Every structure is written in C-alpha cells, then in structure tokens.
Amino acid sequence: MCNWEQAWLAYELIENQKDKKYFESVYTQQNGVLVESALREIKTAAEKLFSITVRRGENREEAGLILELNPALNLGKEGYQITEEEDRIYIRAAKENGLLYGTFRLLLMVSSGKEITGISIREIPSNPVRMLNQWDNIDGSIERGYAGRSFFYENGKVCVTERIRDYARLLCSVGINGVSINNVNVRNGAEWLISERHYKELEQISHIFAQYGISMYLCIDFAAPMTLGGLSCADPLKEEVKDWWEKKCGEIFGRLPNMGGFLVKADSEGRPGPFAYGRNHADGANMLARAVKPYGGTIIWRCFVYNCQQDWRDRRTDRACAGYDNFMPLDGKFDDNVILQIKNGPIDFQVREPVHPLFGGLQHTNQMLEVQIAQEYTGQQIDVCYLVPMWKEVLDFSTGCGKPEDTVADIISGRTFGQQRCGMAAVANTGRDANWTGHDLAGANLYGFGRLAFDPRLSAEEIASEWISLQISRDSDVNRSISDILLRSREVYEKYTAPLGIGFMVNPAHHYGPNPEGYEYSKWGTYHRADHLAVGVDRSAGGTGYSEQYFEKNAALFREKGTCPENLLLFFHRVPYTYRLHSGKTLIQHIYDSHFEGHEQVLQMQKDWELLEGRIPQHIFLRVKERFTRQAENSREWCDVINSFFYRKSMIPDEQGREIF
C-alpha cells in the first residue's frame, strides 16, 4: 500500500461499461520505452475502469485499440491523432512521445466520462517546452512548499521512490516534458548534486522520467567552479572557468543521459552570477550554453533580477522596471540554446500584476513564461485559488509588438518570432501530502497548468470540469458546484487581500496573511507608499516610467488613470482615496466594499462546499472543509486589517457604517 493517492489518475470504476470493448485487446508493433509506458498505463486504467485485464493482441484485426506510428502525419514529435474507425480506436503519432500523450488523453477522456465513440481529434502541443520547476531543497524542505516535504530528497540525500514514477505519470498525462528537480536557490549542499555524490540516484530518477518523455534539468550554482572546483573565481570569460564547466558537463551528461540542461538563477536575490566580474547575463548564460551544446543541452536563465538591497527612501528606483532594464539591452546576444525564463509579471507572482513587458519586447531571444502553481501569494494552498483564469489572461495578453500574432501565447510558442526553444514553466505545488497538493482543490492548478501549456486555447471552465470529473466525481451537479467554487476563487481571493494591483501587503518572509506595512520600510522594493491622502506608486511616464516599457498600444492605456484597467490602477498610479472609479464609488469605498464582499464570498463558498457532504469521497470532503475553516479566518483577518489600515490612514468612514477597527 502506498501512502499517496493517484490524483487525476485514480481511474475510478465506470458505471457505463460501453467503452470496455476497445480496451480488451490492444495492438502495436512498437516496443520502445515510451510505448511500454503507454501499454502499462492502458493495463492499469482498464483494470480499474472496467475490471478487465488487457491482452496485447497478436494481430490488429482482433484489437479494439491500436497504437501506430505514422511519420507522414505531420504531427511533430509530440502530436497525436485519435480516431475511431470500424469499431476500433487508433492512436497515431509520428513518434513514440505522441503515442504516449495520445494514450493518456484517451484514458483521461474515458475516465472523465467523455464520449469517445466516433472520436476524431488531432493535437499538437503549442509550446515546445512545458516544464515544472521543483523548489525542493536537499534537506527535504521545499521553498514555498505547502503540501508537505519533498519526495525527491531527505537529509541531504536524493531519494528514489515509486512515488517519483507516479509523479512522472501524472505530469506526462497532462503533457509536461521537463522537470527541474531542485530549488533555483542552490545552497546548503545542493551545489553538490552535480558530483559523484549523487549521480547514482539522479541517474535512476532520470531513467524514470525518460520512460515518460520528461527531460530532467538541474539548477546549478553559478559559482560552482569555486564551491566545487576550488577555482579562485567563476568569471565566465576566464579560460579555466570555461574548461571547468566543459569537463563538468561531459561528466554530467555522460552520467545522466536524460538531462535537458540547467536552470540558472544568477545575480538574483543574493545568488552568485556574472555581475561580480563585470560581465553581463549573456556572458554568463552563453558560457554555460557552449558547455552543454555538444550534448544538445539547454540553459534556462531566469530574468528575476532586481536590486533587493533598495533603500525604501529612494523613490526613483522601481523594482518593476528591473527585468526589462537588465535584459532588453541584451536582446539578440544569447546563444540559440539559451532560453530566458520570465515571470508572468514584473514583481513577483502577486494575485494581480500586469504582464511582463519583456514579452514582445525581446524579439531575438528564446523565451519562456514562468508562472507559480505553488500558491505563495495566493493563499498557500490553505485558501482556494484556481489560477488557470489568471494564466489565461497572461497568455491572451496582446503585446502590441507589431506582429499579427502578438499575444504572450503566440510569443512563447515560437509562432511570433520563429523560435524553436521556448514555452512555459511553473513552480510546482507538490509535496509528500497524500493528495500531492495540500489543498485538494489545488490539484486543479497542477492539472490545469499542464493542459494549458499543451493547449492554451482550452478554457478555464473546460479544464476545471475535466479535472473535477477525474479527481473528485463524475456527477454533473457536483461538477457544477465545484466548478463554480473554482471559477470564483481567484477573484474572491483578490477582493479580500490587496486591492487593485497594489500587491505585497503580506506578512514578511512566509507571505501568508495581511501586514500592510510589512514590506513598506524594507529593502525589497515593494512599496505602496500609502499616506493619509493617497496610495500607490506613480509608474506612469511622469513617475518611474515603467508604463513606457510597453508598446504604445498598452503604454497609452496604462499611463493614464482614466484608461488604465481598474484592476491594475494602484499598480500604475498614485491615487487619492476620494478619486472616483468607473462605478462611481470613491477609491476608499471600493476598498472597504471589496474586502467585506471578499470575506462574505468565502463564507458563501464554505457553505457551498458543506452541501457536498455525502456526494463526494468523504476524505476529500473533510480535508477541503478543514481548509475552508482556515480560509474563512484568513479572509476575516485580511478584511479587518486592510480596512482598518486604510481607515486609520484616511479617516474616511465607511458609507455603510460597517465595523472597522
């Protein structure tokens, strides 16, 4: 018995057994590792869904399901086609990867209760790279982990467990093809992952991933030539440093044949990088890119670079500007096997931020979007917050970069500027908890990220509904009730936390719960500058100039209070409390109303959840019920603290006379 659940691969017995006929016998001429995984999955699923043991048929005539390679189909490496022809289902692909993805799709369709009779679908992933970033530390803790400890490490050792196989199955089933398995902050011994100490276990893990078409990536310490190699510097332009990395990469890629490459956080929040030697990010990234090139490796270089030692008195420096300021001048200077990984917004995964201006800005550089499934600032998997709608807003954002296909989804897929190495990455929300994600409903975010990275056209509603039928219940009323909770959840979270894009009113360090001045007089560059008259930072042309980093189409909207999307008003502007919003309400009244409403809506979601008792598995019901109790407390705390803060600053009473402290 394992002590973890199967999430959306539970394959609960299905009442209507009409699809059983397809699964009694499966035929394929292929026998590579990926097809073997597909066959194993079909066997597992058919046993659970239909209580049958699948036969691998000797000839195609007797099979109900046929897996076939057909390179002529123009499906790329990972695309697939599923059709029903004469009472048989065919999964066709150009490569085994496509067959495996097609298999999972078919099984998940059956398991979610979708109709497969007469099926005819063709899917090619939009994004070449679809990746998860584990922020797991080698001591077994997880940075921003809210679902228990790591299942990759314990006490400085790499663990190889069956759970990693189930994790790989889950990821592959939604189309993930890369995982970086250690925290971007490489420290406390994790520097040594790229050494003899850990190769044996890492090799085993990489083999497991390889069976599911997932490349393994490692985060490295830019100063490794010093920490590991004993050199006196890590200057990327010094021959001895280049030699050290070349040798090291020969060793790593020799020992770990399924390596995709490295993910690097350099010159960011105290991590070492090329700046120490007067070099720039391109010098640093390209040096590594050349070392991994002989092995087909990729360097993913993060753009989360800003001054984290800011003096709060300094009003000219604006953290929001930093990513663009650092990387725009380097556009076109990166080697072809470097990808820049850019967070969705310019600050740090807040519940509402504008889209990062580097998207569309960078036109000659491979780029990848980074989002955070781990709910660091969005409720820490205690509060429910379905993030797919937020990611869709980002993907659908039209950058105005002058190309016909100019959305973020277009850019990161390579459609806009013809790039091949690009895509989407996300900070994972998984850990050792039985349900993988702490809050059961946070499973929708993990599932949704994979689905969306594969096909950004899917709607948030479709994804929610699929996930609910796979992981919680196939009942359509239950599906509607839970979908309803998920789809409201982000807006509700936003309402009771930080208003109108202001962000960062959280408790310092752990980032849960309200603390409106927690970061106000600190070095992190996240200020709201509220006083008795107004709140917000002027980031328009006359202010810090951040709005001018966008193409004119968006800059024109953002730079004026009147045209700025209201949900970002306080991100871009300093606004008096008496300013009237489009609704006719004053800013201060909007803040009060939104916080009271947000808290009330949590209580409503909690009630809606209570109605599900007896209609869904009891253990899920109880776990989520417990989370709602905590969310209700948290939302009350946010509501009262934020409202009291603004009342005490402005001394303007609530028009409705509700209790503010």
Question: Side-chain half-sphere of 338: how many Cα atoms within 13 Å?
Answer: 25
- Amino acid of residue 409: A
Mark out the alpha helices in 512-586 (DSSP H runs).
Answer: 552-558, 569-572
How many C-beta atoms lie closer than 10 Å to residue 52's C-beta? Answer: 16
Determine the Cα–Cα distance for residues 269 and 306; give it in Å rounded to an integer: 8
Q: Quote the least distance from Cβ 187 to ligand GCU, whole Å.
A: 11
Cβ proximity of 181 and 217 under 8 Å: yes
How many C-beta atoms lie closer than 10 Å to residue 435's C-beta? Answer: 23
Torsion of CA 553, 559, 562, 565, to 10 degrees: 70
Q: Quote the least distance from Cβ 24 to ligand GCU, whole Å.
A: 49
Name the residue nearer to ligand GCU (CB basis): 342 or 602.
342
Name the residue nearer to ligand GCU (CB basis): 285 or 575.
285
Q: Quote the least distance from Cβ 135 to ligand GCU, whole Å.
A: 7
Letter string b/e over residues 411-426, b meaning 16 or more CB atoms within 10 A of that residue's CB: bbbbbbbebebbbbbb
Q: Quote the least distance from Cβ 394 to ligand GCU, whole Å.
A: 16
Q: Does 322 bind ligand GCU (CB under 6 A)?
A: no
Name the residue nearer to ligand GCU (CB basis): 304 or 334.
304
Q: Quote the least distance from Cβ 304 to ligand GCU, whole Å.
A: 5
Q: Any residues with CB less than 8 A from the CB of 607 and at least 6 apart, and which? A: none
Choosing from 36, 68, 143, 393, the residue that interacts with ligand GCU (CB under 6 A) is 143
Q: Can you read off the two tokens belonging to residue 224? A: 């490794």
Q: Which residues are catalytic?
A: 269, 348, 376
Q: Quote the least distance from Cβ 153 to ligand GCU, whole Å.
A: 17
Q: How far is CA 490 from CA 63, 147, 460, 487, 621, in A?
A: 46, 20, 12, 7, 21
Which 290-309 residues touch ligand GCU, going by CB under 6 A? 304
Choosing from 95, 144, 248, 392, the residue that interacts with ligand GCU (CB under 6 A) is 144
Q: Quote the least distance from Cβ 268 to ligand GCU, whole Å.
A: 6
DSSP bridge pairs for 84: 89
Report the SS3 class of residue 272. coil
Site string for ligand GCU, 359-398 (x = CB under 6 A): -----------------x----------------------
Site string for ligand GCU, 60-99 (x = CB under 6 A): ----------------------------------------
Choosing from 169, 265, 528, 595, the residue that interacts with ligand GCU (CB under 6 A) is 265
Beta strand pairing status for 534-535 and 120-123? unpaired
Task: Using alpha carbons, select from 255, 253, 233, 139 the residue that is nearest to residue 189.
Answer: 139
Task: Using alpha carbons, select from 312, 317, 315 the residue that is nearest to residue 521.
Answer: 312
Which 181-240 residues touch ligand GCU, going by CB under 6 A? 184-185
DSSP bridge pairs for 368: 341, 423
Choosing from 5, 136, 283, 348, the residue that interacts with ligand GCU (CB under 6 A) is 348
Point out which residues bind ligand GCU (CB under 6 A): 143-144, 184-185, 265, 269, 304, 348, 376
